[in-house]
C-alpha cells in the first residue's frame, strides 16, 4: 500500500520513513503530486493542523495519508513558539533565524524557567474516512547556545537533562528513542496494521 507523507520537511520525512521501513509501504512525498492545491495551516492547535492536512490530501489523492504537526512549547513564553514554531522569526524564517530569536527571547531567563516541551501530533487518514490522531511529547530545557550537528529545527537548543545532550547531539536511532516524534511513531506502528488491512 502507498502512504503519502504530508510534509515538505526533509527531516520529518526521513524520520518517518525510517521508523516505518518494516511495513509493506511505498512512501510517497508531496512533491510527487504537483496538482495538489496548497493547504493553509490555519487551525489553532497542532492536532487541528495535522488533521486538516491529512484529511485534505487523502480526499484529493485518494491514498492513505500521514500528516505531522509538531512544535516547541516554552511555558515561560506563554506557550510560544507553539503552532508557529516553523515561522517563529517570520513567514520564511530559517531554522537558524528561529533559533536565534528563541535565544534572544530567553536571554535573561535562567534555571527552571527555560523548561520546554517538544510536542508532535500525527494524523493518519484512510480514503474510507477512518482516521486516528496520536500525540508524542518530550520534555527538556532550552540550552544557552546551539549544540550538535544532527537533526533540524530547534534540535540544537533542546537539551535533555537525563542525557546531558541536545537533540542535535543524538544519532537518528537515539533521537527516535527519545524524541516527541519517536514517541508518536512508536504508537503509530501499533495501530497502522488495521489501516493496512482496509482496501484503498
Within 10 Å of residue 6's Cβ, how many Cβ atoms? 26
pLDDT tens-digit series, residues 44-81? 999 999 999 999 999 999 999 999 999 999 999 999 99
pLDDT of residue 198: 74
Question: What are the structural domains, with CATH classification, of the chain?
Answer: 2-196 (3.90.950.10)
β-strand pairing of 131-142 with 158-160: antiparallel
Closest CA to 1 of 30, 28, 19: 28
The CA-based angle 190-58-56, given to 5 degrees, is 120
pLDDT of residue 200: 63
Q: What is the pTM of this model?
A: 0.93
Write out residues in the chain with pLDDT < 50, as ranges: none
Annotated active-site positions, please?
69
Note the helical H segments in the chain: 10-19, 46-61, 95-105, 172-178, 180-196
Amino acid at each position: 500500500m502507498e502512504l503519502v507523507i504530508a510534509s515538505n520537511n526533509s527531516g520529518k520525512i526521513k524520520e518517518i520513513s525510517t521508523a516505518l521501513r518494516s511495513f509493506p509501504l511505498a512512501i510517497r512525498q508531496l512533491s510527487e503530486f504537483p496538482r495538489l492545491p496548497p493547504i493553509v495551516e490555519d487551525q489553532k492547535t497542532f492536532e487541528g493542523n495535522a488533521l486538516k492536512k491529512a484529511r485534505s490530501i487523502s480526499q484529493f489523492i485518494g491514498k492513505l495519508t500521514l500528516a505531522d504537526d509538531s512544535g516547541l512549547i516554552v511555558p515561560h513564553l506563554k506557550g510560544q513558539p507553539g503552532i508557529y514554531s516553523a515561522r517563529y522569526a517570520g513567514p520564511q524564517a530559517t531554522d537558524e533565524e528561529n533559533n536565534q530569536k528563541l535565544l534572544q527571547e530567553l536571554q535573561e531567563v535562567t534555571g527552571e524557567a527555560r523548561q520546554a516541551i517538544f510536542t508532535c501530533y500525527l494524523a493518519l487518514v484512510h480514503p474510507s474516512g477512518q482516521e486516528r490522531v496520536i500525540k508524542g511529547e518530550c520534555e527538556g530545557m532550552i540550552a544557552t547556545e546551539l549544540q550538535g550537528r544532527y537533526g533540524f529545527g530547534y534540535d540544537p537548543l533542546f537539551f535533555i537533562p537525563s542525557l546531558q545532550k541536545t537533540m542535535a547531539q543524538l544519532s537518528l536511532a537515539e533521537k527516535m528513542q527519545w524524541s516527541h516524534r519517536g514517541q508518536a511513531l512508536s504508537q503509530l506502528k501499533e495501530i497502522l496494521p488495521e489501516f493496512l488491512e482496509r482496501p484503498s
